[in-house]
Amino acid sequence: MVVSPKIAPSMLSSDFANLAAEAKRMVDLGADWLHMDIMDGHFVPNLTIGAPVIESLRKHTSAYLDCHLMVTNPMDYVEQMGKAGASGFTFHVEVAKENWQELVSKIKSAGMRPGVALKPGTPVEEVYPLVEGEIPVEMVLVMTVEPGFGGQKFMPNMMDKVRALRQKYPTLDIEVDGGLGPSTIEAAAAAGANCIVAGSSVFGAPEPGKVISLLRTSVEKAQPTT
């Protein structure tokens, strides 16, 4: 297998009042990562959680916290997110055109894994320099909905971006986020995505563990065997 599947339930769809228990439930059901959506009410028209919640959650889990920062000034969050115990720090390319090199370097120095995300309207070519940089990002997150809210409809035309990335970077972690579930995973896996964020399809299912394992099996089946 060239790249390993990472199934990341989006905690945005969890019961925030019981976050520690929800995180444990997802890990016990087979989640590889926990996807944490940080929104500032400015980059996107919604406000969620920040470093204090990551810090609280970190006391209850050793899971990989895959933090997706939908914020206008990601640089302002690096230090606090690192101290809070975030594992991955994925910022949006749309707000890091000038300073991405410094940002990636600071994310690494703060002990986190850097990733870059792109909105549906952003051309995939914009992230190539970040993947090929002197200090490269280690994951690209292709948004398959407009960022801001869970429960939206998957945009299949975003798979062209995933295909282009996979063709260019065979071992890169490529994450898809938004509207992923049993009815859309085949398209994403066939295009080459290996990190799968799923919120409403997991938390809304009668048996979330079955959805997690279905997502994993789809990614495994789509991988080349050599």
Ligand X SMILES: O=C(CO)[C@H](O)[C@H](O)COP(=O)(O)O
Region of 29 on the Ramachandran plot (φ > 0 left; ψ -120 to 50 alpha; else beta): alpha
Q: Is position 160 annotated as part of the catalytic site?
A: no
Give the SS3 label for residue 153.
Answer: coil
DSSP 30: T
140 binds ligand X (CB under 6 A): no
According to CB under 6 A, which one of 6, 35, 113, 161 is a site residue for ligand X? Answer: 35
According to CB under 6 A, which one of 180, 189, 191, 219 is a site residue for ligand X? Answer: 180
Helix axes 19-28, 208-222, angle to 10 degrees: 50
- The neighbouring-strand residues paired with 139 are 115, 173
Look up residue 147 and give its amino acid.
P
Q: Which is nearer to ligand X, 56 or 152 (CB)?
A: 152
Give the SS3 label for residue 35.
Answer: strand
- Binding residues (CB under 5 A) for Fe ion: these are 37, 68, 177
37 binds ligand X (CB under 6 A): yes
Residues in 90-109 at the binding interface with ligand X, rule: CB under 6 A: none
85 binds ligand X (CB under 6 A): no
Q: Which residues bind ligand X (CB under 6 A)?
A: 10, 12-13, 35, 37, 68, 70, 145, 147-152, 177-180, 197-201
